[in-house]
Chains A and B, each alone.
Chain A
């Protein structure tokens, strides 16, 4: 185990997340957070990141990242037509539909 410890063992706890950072992350995540949620998440996520600083003690430079349990491989099948889902069944689950298509609010041209 010792061989993995880097020289720095007194890693300072992660800096607390500011409410500005939380607000930016919320925009990226397409979430509207109210002031209460923003300040609460700032405190809770800061607390978590401080706990997560334990891995800063590990020497990881030469370690290969592992994103899934087994190496990815191509999965192929014969190029033959198979039955898919019925279009009307799928569209029936949508909040709004028009002419057999998903209907959404305008994506362009809305002035703030």
Chain B
């Protein structure tokens, strides 16, 4: 069952901020409500690698003291947030759900973490993920699987499954994940929450532990579109510490949510790759109908290279990962397995510290980059990436945004795809192309399938098209509330 709206009432980011800033609710009481739910259900869900109850209580008391003293407590005052455990938190263990980083305490905060703290948010914990964000189910963690709060026999999606599950279960009012090929949007869909992958460069990657640097982007999970907009306004904006950060201020998103979609042109991709279950495509069609009745014009467009996104991605992302993960060598941080010389130490450390999927992708990426195969695989994938980007650019000459499934299926049973890597990769069919192009995308809960499991519809927009994307998402949310 999708989370009923009344359950979310009082739990939204905006409700919490309003109450805490007005002094009608204390940050401490809000935090205790969330810690109480963690006590009740974390044992079966396992959303977190680490719960920071003591630190959070201290911080909540500071927020309440600031409010009492008449000081500015920040735009996210008292909001309990859950951070994917691949974002650096100063002095607090950051593992990427990998043995190779177990026990490591970063010497600095990620820019996003710093901005959230400055805004008055309270970090309640570090959430589980597929090791180094490589996976679509949060089963590839060295520290155990995370379970879907809607049905604990099923996966929450991944790789940001812990953050998605934490929001869906009410452990935090907001979550943060990273999306390299769908790792925010797919778990958001499977857990029935809103999840946003911003434009590449809109959110600083400083302190996000790199998986595939040309694709990675941090974004929020939230109960509502308005909450996601408020969170985006805090985390977006230029950071001199990330050379790919777009030198622009954060977009104004909360102010556009009530604008509606009258006159917007929304594209239906007629040559979308198949593979989505009928219960999913039925909801996407319902979303088109809802937008049309709200005044949007539905336009058929072609994005022929969409189909080839999966191949391009699964060559490019492992290639970048094989390079990025070369830093885990047992010298400067993390695990070391001693050996008689450095080369033997590197191999012994990496073989003991990395899990199966990470090794598989390092192998695939190393192969795709190796002499003799570079042109046939990595080089070719980069050209396909250009075709995908060009095809999207052509489509956006005719439309303001696109709708697509977020995930081909609802949440699947734990273990179902664990032994078939390629079947798992197919989870990312509809999310990958926008990582390759750098465009934003977000998943909005839009009903349920036959088994009562959540289904998300994905809204896509051109680079820096977040305002239009959020207008469409808000309209879909209104349509769901009215139904």
Say if A and B assemble together.
Answer: yes
Which residues of chain B in 107-136 are interfacial with respect to chain A, using CB atoms and an 8 Å cutoff? 107-108
Which stretch, B1-9, B280-288, B309-317, B405-413, touches the partner chain A?
Answer: B309-317
Which stretch, B33-41, B170-178, B383-391, touches the partner chain A?
Answer: B383-391
| B438 close to chain A: CB less than 8 A | yes
Which residues of chain B in 304-351 are interfacial with respect to chain A, using CB atoms and an 8 Å cutoff? 304, 307-308, 310-312, 314-315, 322, 326, 329-336, 338-348, 350-351
| B441 close to chain A: CB less than 8 A | no
Can you name the residue of chain A whose Cβ is closest to the Cβ of B381?
Answer: A55
| B55 close to chain A: CB less than 8 A | no
User: How many residues on the A side are at the interface (Cβ–Cβ under 8 A)?
Assistant: 50
| A8 close to chain B: CB less than 8 A | no
A residues in contact with B304, CB < 8 Å: 1, 4
Known: A4-B387, A54-B308. A45 touches B360 (CB 8 A): yes
Which stretch, B58-66, B137-145, B362-370, touches the partner chain A?
Answer: B362-370
| A6 close to chain B: CB less than 8 A | no
B residues in contact with A77, CB < 8 Å: 240
Can you name the residue of chain B whose Cβ is closest to the Cβ of A65?
Answer: B382
A31 partner, pick from B359, B380, B421, beta carbons under 8 A: B359
A30 partner, pick from B307, B347, B377, B383, beta carbons under 8 A: B347
A residues in contact with B380, CB < 8 Å: 55, 60
Interface string of A84-109 (1 = CB under 8 A from B): 01100110011110000010111100
| B437 close to chain A: CB less than 8 A | yes
Chain B, interface size category, equals 35 or more
Which residues of chain A in 23-50 are interfacial with respect to chain B, using CB atoms and an 8 Å cutoff? 25-26, 28-33, 37, 41, 44-45, 47-49
| A81 close to chain B: CB less than 8 A | no
Query: How distant is the Cα of A37 from the Cα of B348 in the complex, in angstroms?
Result: 15
Tell whether, in the assembled complex, residue A65 and residue B362 are in contact, meaning their CB atoms are under 8 Å apart. no
Tell whether, in the assembled complex, residue B338 and residue A105 are in contact, meaning their CB atoms are under 8 Å apart. yes
Known: A63-B387, A69-B437. A110 touches B201 (CB 8 A): no
In angstroms, how far is the closest chain B Cβ from the Cβ of A68?
A: 4
Looking at chain B's contact residues, the main secondary structure is helix
Q: Which of A32, A63, A69, A105 has the most CB of B within 10 A?
A: A69
| A12 close to chain B: CB less than 8 A | no
Can you name the residue of chain B whose Cβ is closest to the Cβ of A103?
Answer: B331
Query: How distant is the Cα of A24 from the Cα of B112 in the complex, in angstroms?
Result: 40
Tell whether, in the assembled complex, residue A104 and residue B345 are in contact, meaning their CB atoms are under 8 Å apart. yes
Query: How distant is the Cα of A22 from the Cα of B370 in the complex, in angstroms?
Result: 12
Tell whether, in the assembled complex, residue A32 and residue B107 are in contact, meaning their CB atoms are under 8 Å apart. no
B105 partner, pick from A93, A102, A104, beta carbons under 8 A: A93
Tell whether, in the assembled complex, residue B346 and residue A30 are in contact, meaning their CB atoms are under 8 Å apart. yes
A95 partner, pick from B336, B343, B348, B350, beta carbons under 8 A: B336
B residues in contact with A64, CB < 8 Å: 383, 386
12 A-B pairs in the complex with CB atoms less than 8 angstroms apart: A31-B351, A48-B364, A48-B421, A52-B311, A55-B308, A55-B311, A55-B381, A55-B384, A65-B382, A67-B382, A68-B214, A69-B437
Additional A-B contacts beyond A44-B360, A65-B383 (4; CB < 8 A): A1-B302, A65-B379, A70-B200, A105-B340
* Chain A positions near chain B (C-beta within 8 angstroms): 1, 4, 17, 21-22, 25-26, 28-33, 37, 41, 44-45, 47-49, 51-52, 54-55, 58, 60, 63-70, 75, 77, 85-86, 89-90, 93-96, 102, 104-107, 110
* Chain B positions near chain A (C-beta within 8 angstroms): 104-108, 200-201, 214, 240, 243-244, 271, 302, 304, 307-308, 310-312, 314-315, 322, 326, 329-336, 338-348, 350-351, 354, 359-360, 362-364, 366-367, 370, 377, 379-387, 389, 421-422, 437-438, 463
